[in-house]
Chains A and B, each alone.
Chain A
Amino acid sequence: MPDQIKVVDKLGLDRILTRISHEILEKNKGSENLVLMGMRTRGEFLAARIAKKIKQIDEIELPLGILDVTLYRDDFRTSLKQPQVSVSNITFDINGKDIILIDDVLFTGRTVRSALNALMDFGRPASIQLFILIDRGHRELPIRADYVGKNIPTSVYQEIKVKMEEIDGEDSIYLVELNKK
């Protein structure tokens, strides 16, 4: 087992999501034209939780889509493992919508780049805003988040592991030390 430190606990995660939900509503002056787009896998559950919070605040049910960006990745030639694809599930028209794109960790920016390309194939949204739970730095592309849960500067020998009740059985975020080679 590699060394890991818990950097956010259950309560902390909930607070972040509450704050971000308010920020989203505030920045967009309401929720009328908003749709939430969670990126598989954990972005999907983050999006669902934000939807729930926004409903509590604004009594409106935002459309919730799930985006799988595997087909748009640029690392097929370099990665050793074949990524498993799954289905995107977007049951509404994204044309003219303000999309809140949601993912757990922002690192090089390449996954977000894939997501932007993927979204363009579904239609022409009015805007795309990015919510990232943890920004760990090390960007390789000119991408920044509109909403950041928490900045955690890391080294390349570290990893951020986000765990969520829905699939991991607990709500917490860890900073993991990888073995230096």
Chain B
Amino acid sequence: MPLSSRHLLGLQGVPKDDIQLILETANTFREVLERPIKKVPTLQGKTIVNLFYENSTRTRISFELAEKRLSSDTINFSQSSSSVKKGESLKDTIRNIEAMKIDMIIIRHSAAGTPHYLTKICNANIINAGDGIHEHPTQALLDMYSLKERFGKLEGLKVCIVGDVAHSRVALSNIYGLITMGAKVSVCGPSTMIPRFIEKLGVNVTYDIDEAIRDNDVLNVLRIQLERKAGGYFPSLREYAKYFGITQERLDNNKDITILHPGPINRGVEISSEVADGNNQIILHQVTNGVAIRMAVLYLLGTLN
């Protein structure tokens, strides 16, 4: 069965079968990545545009590699949202790019809903590579893939998302995806960074990091965006690190816990160096799996007729 949608805009409402298919298909590409020649001809002749209105070296490189390893033609377009606001409108940009006969657009944008808007103004397959504080579906998929690789299944797995949940697209996509797959999801962070009513999504809330470590199989530690401090969401980096930072001593309460982090890491803030390099984390697996997941998504959308 192919995917039920021709776009990947988010994981909200994406059926379990679709997530399962993406995760299983990623196995194939995980194997391709182990070959001497890490390239297959599957998307030959397809043209994919990486439209990045926000800086993101990692996500862009990961998508670009995935595209090249599927033999598609790849074009990068990077511009900061602010300069776009002054110049050509998004609609004109998209229409122009589409007129050059392209097949797929990977979009990263600071405004939520922009990928959804793209589906209304052009015919390409749209993949959301992060829209504002809304969703970042491929990140959540690679997180889930990494957990499935480690634990064999997602059902019943206890995962706590730690940090600035209110301003995190990674958190939201993980919550949707993990709950669909039957995991037990909770969030932990300073109360100013936990959205009101988040319980309605079916997650538990705790403000005690030690409790979160004790009660979970996995912590997905979010990056603290330093500009949030300016917004006054927490008093200081020092206080954040002291009360919510993941340190080796804290992990003594649960030596088997698995630590994920979407990167880039602020060492010494949300996670100590010792933990970032230690045995509990699988951060670099996430990065490798990221390419495989993106190849899987590109394959499944790019070969839909």
A contacts B directly in the complex (CB < 8 Å)? Answer: yes
Chain A residues engaging chain B, CB cutoff 8 angstroms? 68, 70-73, 76-77, 79-83, 85-89, 117-118, 120-123
How many B residues touch A, CB cutoff 8 Å? 21
**B249 in contact (CB, < 8 A):** no
Say yes or no: A79-B305 contact (C-beta < 8 A), given A71-B42, A72-B41, A121-B40.
yes
Partner of B35, one of A77, A85, A121: A121
In B245-285, the 8 Å CB interface with A consists of none
Partner of A82, one of B28, B30, B305: B305
Residues of B within 8 A of A82 (CB): 2, 300, 303-305
Partner of A76, one of B28, B36, B39, B303: B303
Say yes or no: A87-B41 contact (C-beta < 8 A), given A79-B305, A82-B300.
no
Say yes or no: A123-B42 contact (C-beta < 8 A), given A79-B305, A87-B31.
no
User: Closest chain B residue to A89 by CB distance?
Assistant: B31
- A121-B42 in contact (CB<8A): no
- A87-B305 in contact (CB<8A): no
Partner of A85, one of B25, B36, B41: B25
CB of B46 to closest CB in A, whole Å: 9
The 5 closest A-B pairs by CB, nearest first: A71-B40, A121-B37, A82-B2, A71-B42, A85-B28
**B241 in contact (CB, < 8 A):** no
- A72-B303 in contact (CB<8A): no
User: Closest chain B residue to A88 by CB distance?
Assistant: B31
- Chain B interface SS verdict (over half): loop
- B41-A122 in contact (CB<8A): no
**B32 in contact (CB, < 8 A):** yes
Residues of A within 8 A of B41 (CB): 71-72, 117
Residues of A within 8 A of B31 (CB): 87-89
Give the A-B contact count at a CB cut-off of 8 A: 51
Most buried by B among A70, A71, A81: A71
User: Closest chain B residue to A94 by CB distance?
Assistant: B36
CB of A176 to closest CB in B, whole Å: 24
Residues of B within 8 A of A77 (CB): 45, 305
Say yes or no: A72-B42 contact (C-beta < 8 A), given A85-B25, A121-B35.
yes
CB of A77 to closest CB in B, whole Å: 8
**B176 in contact (CB, < 8 A):** no
CB of A137 to closest CB in B, whole Å: 27
Say yes or no: A71-B35 contact (C-beta < 8 A), given A79-B305, A82-B2.
no
- A86-B35 in contact (CB<8A): no
**B27 in contact (CB, < 8 A):** yes
- A71-B32 in contact (CB<8A): yes
Kindly state the separation between the CA atoms of A118 and B35 in the bound complex, as whole angstroms.
10
Most buried by B among A72, A79, A85: A85
**B53 in contact (CB, < 8 A):** no
- A86-B28 in contact (CB<8A): yes
Residues of B within 8 A of A88 (CB): 28, 31
Most buried by B among A70, A76, A88, A89: A76
- B303-A122 in contact (CB<8A): no
Residues of A within 8 A of B30 (CB): 87
CB of A158 to closest CB in B, whole Å: 26
**B299 in contact (CB, < 8 A):** yes
Residue pairs across A and B with Cβ atoms less than 8 A apart, 11 shown, are: A68-B28, A70-B28, A71-B40, A71-B41, A71-B299, A80-B305, A83-B303, A85-B25, A85-B28, A86-B27, A120-B37
- A123-B305 in contact (CB<8A): no
Say yes or no: A121-B39 contact (C-beta < 8 A), given A82-B2, A82-B303, A85-B299.
yes
User: Closest chain A residue to B301 by CB distance?
Assistant: A82
Most buried by B among A77, A80, A120: A77
Partner of A87, one of B2, B28, B42: B28
CB of B129 to closest CB in A, whole Å: 23
CB of A122 to closest CB in B, whole Å: 6
Known: A72-B40, A120-B37. 4 other contacts (CB 8 A): A77-B305, A88-B28, A88-B31, A122-B36
